[in-house]
Amino acid sequence: MAPFTVIIPARYSSTRLPGKPLLDLAGKTMIQRVYEQAGQSDAGRVVVATDDERIKACVLEFGGEVCMTSPDHESGTDRLAEVAQQLALSEGECVVNVQGDEPLIPPSVINQVAGNLVGSGASMSTLSEVITSEEVAFDPNAVKVVSDKNGIALYFSRAPIPWSRDTFSIAGGGVPKQQLLQRHIGIYGYRVGFLHQFVQWGPCALEQTESLEQLRAMWHGAKIHVEQAVEPPAPGIDTEADLAAVRKLLEVS
């Protein structure tokens, strides 16, 4: 597989956890742990994208590469596109967007997204996992995805899709046994040319309704490849409880 670039968008401001990228996780900052996990993948280059001088200083201190970007970006994808432009990446190259709050992300998952992008011919690639509980199925914060037989996404939604008439119509009926209910995992691979096109389109009606940026690609007819993750995704950090859980995992390891 051709070398790919990992870009890690990292913002200092966070409603629930201010300064999240610089939080300490067993002696290292969160952003350093994300960077090191990405560095264990087959990526030819790993770059942190930020608009904050404190994050930049931290990345340079541990020997990482960082790009300063505009503070006016509305999404991580916009920040990604600016970095691709700064690095002068060619339109055919592949970039993988790794979230800056996933310090335990498996390198194998990063490789999987990149490999699927190249192998599928799709404009984007991402991953999923089987939903096994009603709690997750009906949680609007857990995004669901349905794909066709070739692994091309048909739709993403915060609603439980596909709707299982036989199980969901009964209280406590559980989830379908066919493993059709899939939770979307928020890691993306992009072809650089498509990435630049994506940010130029601007938000679409479906995207704004569901608050799911990937629906913009589908609105314009672009193909998104989806596959079950080869390794269970490690927990990300959005809340104090998440932070405590990851710290505990790192202490044990």
Q: What is the pLDDT of residues 205-214, one digit of tens each?
A: 999 999 999 9
Half-sphere exposure of 64 (CA within 13 A, CB side): 26
Tens digits of residue pLDDT in 144-191 = 999 999 999 999 999 999 888 777 766 666 776 666 889 999 999 999
Rg from Cα positions in the chain: 18
Contacts of 43 (CB under 8 A, 6+ apart): 3, 4, 5, 6, 96, 110, 114
Question: Which pLDDT score, from 0 to 100, does residue 171 have?
Answer: 62
Question: Which pLDDT score, from 0 to 100, does residue 79 have?
Answer: 87
Tell me the CA distances in angstroms from 167 to 132, 136, 158, 178, one per residue in order. Answer: 13, 15, 18, 12
Question: Which pLDDT score, from 0 to 100, does residue 170 have?
Answer: 64
Q: How confident is the model at residue 248 (pLDDT cuts 50, 70, 90)?
A: confident
Question: Chain-wide mean pLDDT for the chain?
Answer: 91
Query: Which percentage of the chain shows pLDDT scores above 70?
Result: 94
- What's the average model confidence in pLDDT over 204-229? 96
Residue 175 has which token pair? 């989830």
Q: Is residue 252 part of a domain?
A: no
- What's the average model confidence in pLDDT over 232-249? 85
- What's the average model confidence in pLDDT over 202-226? 95
Q: Is residue 21 part of a domain?
A: yes
Question: Which pLDDT score, from 0 to 100, does residue 234 have?
Answer: 80
CATH code of 208's domain: 3.90.550.10
Question: Which pLDDT score, from 0 to 100, does residue 219 have?
Answer: 96
Contacts of 91 (CB under 8 A, 6+ apart): 191, 192, 193, 196
Does 85 score more than 90 pLDDT?
Answer: yes
Q: Residue 174, by phi and psi: left (phi above 0), alpha (psi -120 to 50) or beta?
A: left
Q: Is residue 251 part of a domain?
A: no
- Taking alpha carbons only, the member of 142, 105, 114, 43 closest to residue 232 is 105
Q: Is residue 253 part of a domain?
A: no
Question: Which pLDDT score, from 0 to 100, does residue 13 have?
Answer: 79
Q: Is residue 12 part of a domain?
A: yes
- CA quadruple 17, 22, 26, 31: dihedral sign: positive
Number of domains into which the chain is organized: 1
Question: Which pLDDT score, from 0 to 100, does residue 173 have?
Answer: 62
Tens digits of residue pLDDT in 37-67 = 999 999 999 999 999 999 999 999 999 999 9
Q: Is residue 172 part of a domain?
A: yes
Say if CB 50 and CB 42 are below 8 A apart: no
Which residue range forms the structural domain that includes residue 50? 5-246
